[in-house]
Amino acid sequence: MSTRKLEKPSFPIYFFMGKGGVGKTTSSAAFALYLAKLGKKVLIVSLDPAHNLGDVLGIKLGEKHAQVAENLWASEIDFDKMVRDYMRSLADKVKDMYGYLKIFNLEGYVDTLRYSPGVEEHATLEKIKEIITLNQRKWSYEVVVFDTPPTGLTVRIMALPTITLVWLDKLMELRLAILGRRKMLERFTGERPKVVMGGKEVEVATEPEEDPVYRELKAMREEVMWLKGILTDPAVTSVVMVVNPEVLPVLEAERACAFLRRVGVPVKHVIVNKVLRLTSVPEELKEKVREEEEALKLIEEKFQGLARHEIPYLPWEPRGADKLMRVAEYLRGMFGGLEGK
């Protein structure tokens, strides 16, 4: 998908991240619903392979955007299909070009690549890119909210543009060295180096503008820079970290935040979900409450500078629009700046 002529999006993008089971889907759904009630046209997309956005909203969801409330549309991405489609689009191009090079068994190589490490991350990032691009060109939602896979996968997805840029810069440097040598040979011998491909002798490029490899590297760099620009722009992207008041999720979230800060992705909010606020503590729960206090102190220490929002442990299951709106009341602090825009 070409992104070269696109500006930065004019709509905010929210990524709800956290360990599995902390309440990302509930928080993101409540947030999206409240924004829709404020009059914003909102799209919420679940990228989690273990979807439960439809369960939380009380409506069956698929890839197609379904209107779940006034101003609110939702979809669940079919993760396996997304990865398959992504690999197929790349593989078809390779097989077309190399039909005559079956001696390299490239077909087998390309089909095996779908199981390579990193394919899921790439496919998910491509899907995020596609949604942002389509929203700019076609859909016009005012806010896009992503309910993401568990932290480990999402952090790798967010880091991909930075890692990819490092590789692309090195490959472009090496490619220029190759083109420089080819140019030297052309000057020495008076003709361009050639290669026999598909039974035909073909001259190879000596200038970057003529070299398909360099052009592809340059195009990829522009796309990655565009996406990195979006993910690292605090005016566009906000990461909301969801944790429970337990030490392990807090430490995992803290490491994720530190990593995201290193790659320039702005983390702005932390939601502490399922906080036990009891008027009188039964004996059986005293230890639990004490551990929770310890975790809350850790949150205050580790997430300084982030806006903190607390959702208590609710005596009812937060499913369906009405109950999610009650959850959203605890997130009012997140809507400053979005209300009335």
Partner 1 sequence: MPNPTNGLRKRVFNAVRAISEIFKARGSEYIELELRELENIFALIVMGSFIGLPSPPTTVSLRLLPHMGRELLIMSSVSRRLDDMLGEMAGLFDIT
Chain positions contacting partner 1, by CB under 8 A: 90-91, 93-94, 96-98, 101, 104, 106, 109-110, 113, 116, 118-119, 122, 126, 160, 163-164, 167-168, 170-171, 174-175, 177-178, 181-182, 184-185, 188-189, 193, 195, 197, 204, 212-213, 216-217, 220
CB of 255 to partner 1, least distance (A): 22
CB of 131 to partner 1, least distance (A): 17
User: 51 phi and psi, to 5 degrees?
Assistant: -65, 140
Q: Which residues contact 209 (CB under 8 A, 6 or more apart)?
A: 215
Residue closer to partner 1, measured from CB, 147 or 211: 211
CB of 29 to partner 1, least distance (A): 31
- Give the Cα separation of 35 and 40 in Å (integer): 6
Task: Judge whether 311 and 330 are in contact, CB under 8 Å.
Answer: yes
**326: which strand partners?**
none
CB of 198 to partner 1, least distance (A): 8
Q: Which long-range contacts (CB under 8 A, 24 or more apart) does 309-317 make?
A: 309/269, 309/270, 309/271, 309/272, 309/333, 309/334, 310/271, 310/272, 310/275, 311/23, 311/27, 311/271, 311/272, 311/273, 311/274, 311/275, 312/274, 312/275, 312/276, 312/277, 313/274, 313/275, 313/276, 313/277
CB of 109 to partner 1, least distance (A): 7
CB of 290 to partner 1, least distance (A): 45
Residue closer to partner 1, measured from CB, 94 or 236: 94
Strands 13-17 and 237-243: parallel
Residue closer to partner 1, measured from CB, 84 or 170: 170
Residue closer to partner 1, measured from CB, 105 or 279: 105
Residue closer to partner 1, measured from CB, 159 or 327: 159
Q: Please choose, from the candidates 27, 83, 86, the residue with its C-alpha nearest in 3D space to the C-alpha of residue 52.
A: 27
Q: Please choose, from the candidates 133, 138, 220, the residue with its C-alpha nearest in 3D space to the C-alpha of residue 175.
A: 220
Residue closer to partner 1, measured from CB, 212 or 305: 212
User: 206 phi and psi, to 5 degrees?
Assistant: -120, -10
CB of 209 to partner 1, least distance (A): 14
Residue closer to partner 1, measured from CB, 173 or 283: 173
